[in-house]
Amino acid sequence: MNWVTNNLETIISALGWHVALSVPAIVAALLCSIPLGWLAHRLPRYSGPIITGSGLLFAIPSLPLLIVLPVLTGAGMRDGSNVVIALTLYGIALLVRSVADGFNSISSETRLAATALGYSGFRRFLTVELPLAAPIILTGLRVVTASTIALCTVGAVLGIPSLGTLFTDGFQRQILAEIMTGIILTLGLAGICDALLVVLGKLLMPWQKQVA
């Protein structure tokens, strides 16, 4: 406990970096997955390759990806943007499937009724299909949030600051409390973000009695 009170500044800075890297990745993954998942739903012929491809992407180990990615993107290996891009890719890999499942779960009667009521293509998508697919997308987003926050720590071995820095620093300086602080804060941050998403889901989707 002593270590925590003496190093509050280090801890807060690591936590700040962690939030600054993982939250943009989660948001970007959501924004990219909605059109991709919608495409997988609209073009069943391509949904197989899209889903398989994203599954394969998620199998790729994070540390090698962080090393190879800069060659393709031009970002520096130790830049925060490198982690954000890698985490976004992992997020997309997980979310595309949920988004496609969400859109696939809408019955064709609902869609036909919306068309009969005069909803144009884009308005139907925005005001009918997206809200109906949202609960399943939210379930996927909660998975993505937890795994993104956990994966973000890996960047620390390359020197990218995050809560993972507490692991590498704690290991090198043999401070058990530092590693424990890192683990507890990572789990805690994931828990808080998950709770926020549940509350947000209830506010945005009041018609849902219970978000699974």
Partner 1 sequence: MNVIQETFNWLVDPQTWSTDGHNMIIRSVEHLQYSALAVTLAALLAIPAGWFMGHTRRFSGVIVGITGAARALPTLGLITLFGLLLGIGLVPPMIALVVLAIPSILAGTYSGISAINTSVIDAARAQGFTTRQLVTRVHLPLGFAMIVGGLRSAFIQVMSTAILAAYVGAGGLGRFIFLGINTQDTPMLLGASIWIMVLVVLVDALFSLGQRFATPTGVRRLHAVPATEPSAG
Q: Which residues are at the interface with partner 1 (CB under 8 A)?
A: 55-56, 58-65, 67-68, 71, 90, 143, 146-147, 149-151, 153-154, 156-158, 163-164, 167-168, 170-171, 174, 176, 179-180, 182-183, 186-187, 190-191
The distance of closest approach from Cβ of residue 136 to partner 1 in the complex, given in angstroms and rounded to an integer, is 14
Least Å distance, CB 206 to partner 1, is 25
Cβ-based burial of 41 (10 A; exposed 0-12, middle 13-18, buried ≥19): buried
Whether 96 and 43 have beta carbons less than 8 Å apart is answered as no
CB of 181 to partner 1, least distance (A): 10
Measured from the CB of residue 68, what is the shortest distance to partner 1 in angstroms?
5
Q: Distance (Å, rounded) from C-alpha 114 to C-alpha 139? A: 25
CB nearer partner 1, residue 103 or residue 148: 148
When the beta carbons of 39 and 180 are compared against partner 1, the nearer one is 180
Rounded Cα distance, 15 and 11, in Å: 6
Query: CA 43: distance to chain centroid?
Result: 24
Least spacing, CB of residue 161 vs partner 1, in Å:
14
Which tokens hold the place of 147? 């795994």
Q: Is the dihedral of CA 66, 70, 71, 76 positive or negative?
A: negative
As a whole number of angstroms, the longest Cα–Cα distance in the chain is 68
CB of 47 to partner 1, least distance (A): 13
Q: In angstroms, how far is CA 8 from the centroid of its own chain?
A: 27
Nearest to 30 by CA among 91, 87, 80: 91
